[in-house]
Amino acid sequence: MNKKALEKYLLQSLNMALGSMIQGETSYTNSFTCQVKEDGFIFLPHLPSSYIIDNDLYQKIFLIASAALYPRYTLLKQNSAYFIPMDTDDMHIQRALFFPWKRGVSERLVIADLDQFTSSLTDDQIPIMKNLTINYSKITSLAIAGNSGSGKSYTLTYLLNILKPMSDLIIVDPKFDTPSRWARENDIPVIHPSQNRSKSDFLSEVNENLSQCLITIQQRQTILYNNTNHQFKHITIVIDEVLALSEGINKTIKDAFFSLLSQIALLGRATKVHLLLVSQRFDHNTIPISVREQLNVLIQIGNINKKTTQFLYPDLDPEGIVIPIGKGTGLIQIIDNESPYQVLPLLCPTYYTKGGVL
């Protein structure tokens, strides 16, 4: 379908669905038109109009166009109306609503041999989906959220395999589960609870390790002060089930844990010290707000609705986002200067090892 045919198709879809919503005004009455661009399409209202051009109208057009364009294009959801100025002196058409898109739909990576795939990667690249890769050097902290059985551990294991060659790993596993087994098989130390130890005692040990990481950050800052081009190896602090770690703990020790997490999240970027946090949810009892604000890779797996997305994407209404069905599917947002800022549908990689599918 060429550009002109796509514009005609979009106009027809909007005319049929919007007519009753905007008091019968359509493109046939010269009330609006559409323009297709390389990175999205423009809804151009002709003012004055009898309908209000606001966020409600924007979201209605998004819902209509999202379904109409799927699967050739994936519309990128905005939190509010996206206005752009038009290059014209005509007051009637000097503003428009812009709907960014990406071509096609999200496609899952299928990796035949995870070890071989990992060894082929270069330059701190973490492939997430086809045509979506994270540059780890531009990432401070990552969060994976999802209900039990949604595929969090499977996704975490994939990331651990990718990170192992490029980063030192400090793994905290309060459930003594999948990360501990992965660490044993890969000869990496893991901090886990043991018998005859209280939760507060275990969290105190975690705090000791976080404190050492903070000292490392300060040492690296001193090196950077004298040589801004110095390159450090990444350090990644991996904490599985953060909520299980901090729930029901002595307040003094929990406050110290939150304080250390906050300092690492705020200071770690320049010194390549990262957080990788996994939890069923990320409310204020799980991590401090200051840590959540520093997260720049946000992954929500499993059931997607307003309730499950309220912590990682507080301003997002997921209505209209086409999310595939199945395990390891959900939403992802990458906040850097390379990837689309908007939330995208996510299909986590399927990978094979010598022992089969993990």
Q: DSSP letters along 311-346, please?
A: TTSTT---TT-----STTEEEEEE-SSSS-SS-EEE
Domain co-membership, 148 together with 88:
no
pLDDT score of 279: 95
What CATH number corresponds to the domain at position 296? 3.40.50.300
Q: Which percentage of the chain shows pLDDT scores above 90?
A: 73
Model pLDDT, residue 354: 60
Secondary structure of residue 339 in the 3-state scheme: coil
23 shares a domain with 140: no
Bin 45: left if φ > 0, else alpha if -120 < ψ < 50, else beta.
beta
The conformation of residue 158, written as its DSSP 8-state character, comes to: H
Do you find a cis peptide bond into 179, omega within 30 degrees of 0? Answer: no
Give percent above pLDDT 70 in the chain.
98
pLDDT tens for each residue of 335-345: 987 777 889 99
| Domain match, 97 and 165 both | no
The span from the CA of 352 to the CA of 117, in Å, is 10
The confidence score (pLDDT) of residue 355 equals 57
Please tell me the predicted confidence (pLDDT) of residue 18: 86
Residue 27 shares a structural domain with residue 138: no
Contact 217, 229 (CB under 8 A): no
Is 98 within 8 Å of 83 (Cβ atoms)?
Answer: yes
Question: Can you give the residue range of the structural domain that contains 288?
Answer: 110-357
Count of structural domains within the chain: 2
Helix axes 152-163, 178-185, angle to 10 degrees: 30
Instruction: Report which of 358, 327, 321 is spatially closest to residue 342, judged by C-alpha positions.
Output: 321
For residues 204-223, average pLDDT: 96
For residue 46, which amino acid is it?
A: H
Query: Do 118 and 162 touch, CB atoms closer than 8 A?
Result: yes
Q: Do 84 and 125 have their domain in common? A: no
Host H or E run for residue 292:
helix 289-294
Q: What is the DSSP letter of 112?
A: S
Distance of alpha carbon 197 from alpha carbon 194, whole angstroms: 6
Q: Residue 334 is encoded by which pair of tokens? A: 């990458």
pLDDT in tens, 182-213: 999 999 999 998 887 888 899 999 999 999 99
Q: How far is CA 140 from the centre of its chain?
A: 12
State residue 7's pLDDT score: 95
The model scores a pTM over 0.95: no
Last residue within a domain, chosen from 103, 138, 160: 103
Tokens of 232: 């450090």
Query: Per-residue pLDDT averaged across 252-272, rounded?
Result: 94
Residues 38 and 178 in one domain: no
Whole-number pLDDT of residue 323:
85
Query: H helices within 188-282, ranges in order?
Result: 199-226, 242-246, 251-267
H helices of 46-148, in order, are 55-69, 114-119
C-alpha dist (Å) from residue 169 to 132, 157, 174, 300:
24, 13, 16, 23
> 118 and 96, same structural domain?
no
- Residues 99, 68: Cα–Cα separation, whole Å: 13
Q: What is the Cα–Cα distance from 180 to 187, expressed in whole angstroms? A: 10
So what's the pLDDT on residue 357? 47
Residue 255, pLDDT score: 93
Which uninterrupted H or E stretch holds 238? Answer: strand 234-239
| Domain end residue (candidates: 83, 103, 123) | 103
| One domain, residues 92 and 115 | no
pLDDT tens-place string over residues 84-130: 999 999 999 999 999 999 999 999 999 998 989 999 998 899 999 99
Task: Determine the Cα–Cα distance for residues 266 and 317; give it in Å rounded to an integer.
Answer: 28
The H-or-E segment that residue 289 falls in is: helix 289-294
Q: Return the pLDDT at 325.
A: 81
C-alpha closest to that of 102 among 346, 344, 301: 344
Structure tokens at 128: 């997430």
Domain boundary among 74, 103, 132: 103
Q: Which phi and psi angles does 138 have, rounded to 5°?
A: -105, 15
Residues 260 and 296 in one domain: yes
Assess whether 245 and 347 both reside in one domain. yes
Residues 13 and 77 in one domain: yes
Per-residue pLDDT tens over the stretch 52-79: 999 999 999 999 999 999 999 999 999 8
Instruction: Compute the C-alpha angle 42/48/54, nearest 5°.
Output: 55
Asked whether residue 142 carries a pLDDT value surpassing 60, the answer given is yes
In a shared domain, residues 71 and 116: no
